[in-house]
Amino acid sequence: MAEITASLVKELRERTGAGMMECKKALAENNGDIDASAEALRKSGAAKADKKADRVTAEGRVGVASEGGKAVLVEVNSETDFVANDVNFKTFVDTVAQAALASGAADVEALKAAAFGDGVTVEEARTATIQKLGENIQIRRLVKVEGASTIGSYVHTNGKIGVLVELSNGSDELASGLAMHVAAMNPPYNKAADVPAEYIAKEKEIELAKMSDKDKSKPAEILEKIMAGKTAKIVNDVTLYGQSYVLDNDGRTVEAVVKAAGADVIGFTRLVVGEGIEKVQEDYLAEVAKAMQV
């Protein structure tokens, strides 16, 4: 039986990210063979990951990577905000984003097979991270942009909101500023032409219902002008181009700022962590009480 030294345990911990006792046990079971022990821990981690796979992951972070006219956003989910703010999780998200950019993966399934580093794939790294942090972790979404002359990116300080803006012409500074605007103001559409006609019709119907009988009885041409003004405001509120640019001190619209720069917004993507996922409401006191009974 080979001697299981502290340095051997330390090396295996650094290599796998597993706990000290797990490393010691794996080395003992594999007669001190560090390669065999690492493989055993990875297999064990996969088994643990499978057990956690059904847990709801509605927290997490958005990662971004960009270079040479290409950019990606990735959403990686965890079960709790506590893990989402762990430095190991943050590093994992950032590395996944870089792997997505380098590999050119078009979707999450392709990304899982991409190289993560140190001879492992993204999926293998995900499994190892689950083992290290003790929570279900899922790579939920991948957005890739390429071909635009300028791409602006922004991830909010809490890591929960990420934006990519595709700009034809224009500066990096403008593209980045527009990405911040989209993060803050959340416009559903880019330009007036992108707003569905049925949406406008429904909003006009609502505005008409809110009007007083006195206004409704006004001559048709006046009523039409009133409704045109209301429609224009509706369109401005829901489009990037119609909104007042948050970084412009003169209160100009995004459209005015973009056109003044000789640019054009091709499109944008905004990801918010956990959107569309039904969160499980945990009763913390009940969980503690249950744990005390085990």
Report residue 92 as tokens: 């994992």
More confident call, 75 vs 289: 75
pLDDT given for residue 227 in this prediction: 77
Q: Tell me the average pLDDT across 48-76.
A: 80
Task: Indicate if 72 and 140 belong to the same structural domain.
Answer: yes
Q: Tell me the average pLDDT across 217-229.
A: 80
Task: Indicate if 75 and 113 belong to the same structural domain.
Answer: yes
Q: Is the pLDDT of residue 96 over 90?
A: yes
pLDDT given for residue 118 in this prediction: 85
Task: Indicate if 42 and 65 belong to the same structural domain.
Answer: no
Read off the CATH number of the domain in which 19 is found: 1.10.8.10
Task: Indicate if 112 and 138 belong to the same structural domain.
Answer: yes
Q: Tell me the average pLDDT across 158-163.
A: 96
- Confidence tier at 70 by pLDDT (50, 70, 90): very high
pLDDT given for residue 244 in this prediction: 96
Q: Which of the listed residues 146, 177, 207 is the one where a domain comes to its end?
A: 146
Q: Is residue 163 part of a domain?
A: no
Q: For 131-145, what is each residue's pLDDT tens digit?
A: 888 888 999 999 999
Read off the CATH number of the domain in which 119 is found: 3.30.479.20
Task: Indicate if 13 and 94 belong to the same structural domain.
Answer: no
Mapped onto helix, strand or coil, the DSSP state of residue 48 is helix
pTM, entire model: 0.74
- Confidence tier at 46 by pLDDT (50, 70, 90): very low
Q: Which of the listed residues 111, 146, 181 is the one where a domain comes to its end?
A: 146
pLDDT given for residue 25 in this prediction: 85
Residue 21: alpha-carbon gap to chain centroid: 34
Task: Indicate if 48 and 69 belong to the same structural domain.
Answer: no
More confident call, 292 vs 261: 261
Domain hosting residue 29, numbered range: 6-52
- Confidence tier at 57 by pLDDT (50, 70, 90): low
Parallel, antiparallel or unpaired: strands 161-168 and 120-121: unpaired
Q: Tell me the average pLDDT across 90-95.
A: 97
- Confidence tier at 50 by pLDDT (50, 70, 90): very low
- Confidence tier at 284 by pLDDT (50, 70, 90): very low
How many domains does the chain fold into?
Answer: 3
More confident call, 47 vs 175: 175
Q: Is residue 205 part of a domain?
A: yes
Closest of 116, 141, 142, 146 to residue 129, by C-alpha: 116
Task: Indicate if 83 and 29 belong to the same structural domain.
Answer: no
Task: Indicate if 68 and 140 belong to the same structural domain.
Answer: yes
pLDDT given for residue 236 in this prediction: 94
pLDDT given for residue 171 in this prediction: 94
More confident call, 132 vs 61: 61
Task: Indicate if 117 and 42 belong to the same structural domain.
Answer: no
pLDDT given for residue 47 in this prediction: 43
Q: Is residue 154 part of a domain?
A: no
Q: Tell me the average pLDDT across 63-73.
A: 94
Task: Indicate if 67 and 106 belong to the same structural domain.
Answer: yes
Q: Is the pLDDT of residue 88 over 50?
A: yes
Q: Tell me the average pLDDT across 181-186.
A: 97
Q: Tell me the average pLDDT across 187-208.
A: 90
Residue 194 and residue 202: Cα distance in Å, rounded?
16
pLDDT, the chain, mean? 86
Q: Tell me the average pLDDT across 200-219.
A: 80
- Confidence tier at 111 by pLDDT (50, 70, 90): very high
Report DSSP state, residue 277. Answer: P
Q: Is residue 84 part of a domain?
A: yes
Task: Indicate if 32 and 72 belong to the same structural domain.
Answer: no
Q: Is residue 228 part of a domain?
A: yes
Q: For 114-133, what is each residue's pLDDT tens digit?
A: 999 889 999 999 999 988 88
Residue 136 and residue 201: Cα distance in Å, rounded?
44
Q: Is residue 76 part of a domain?
A: yes
CB 139 within 8 A of CB 122: yes
Q: Is residue 152 part of a domain?
A: no
Task: Indicate if 109 and 74 belong to the same structural domain.
Answer: yes
Residue with tokens 């950032």: 94
Q: Is residue 282 part of a domain?
A: no
**Percent with pLDDT over 90 in the chain:** 54
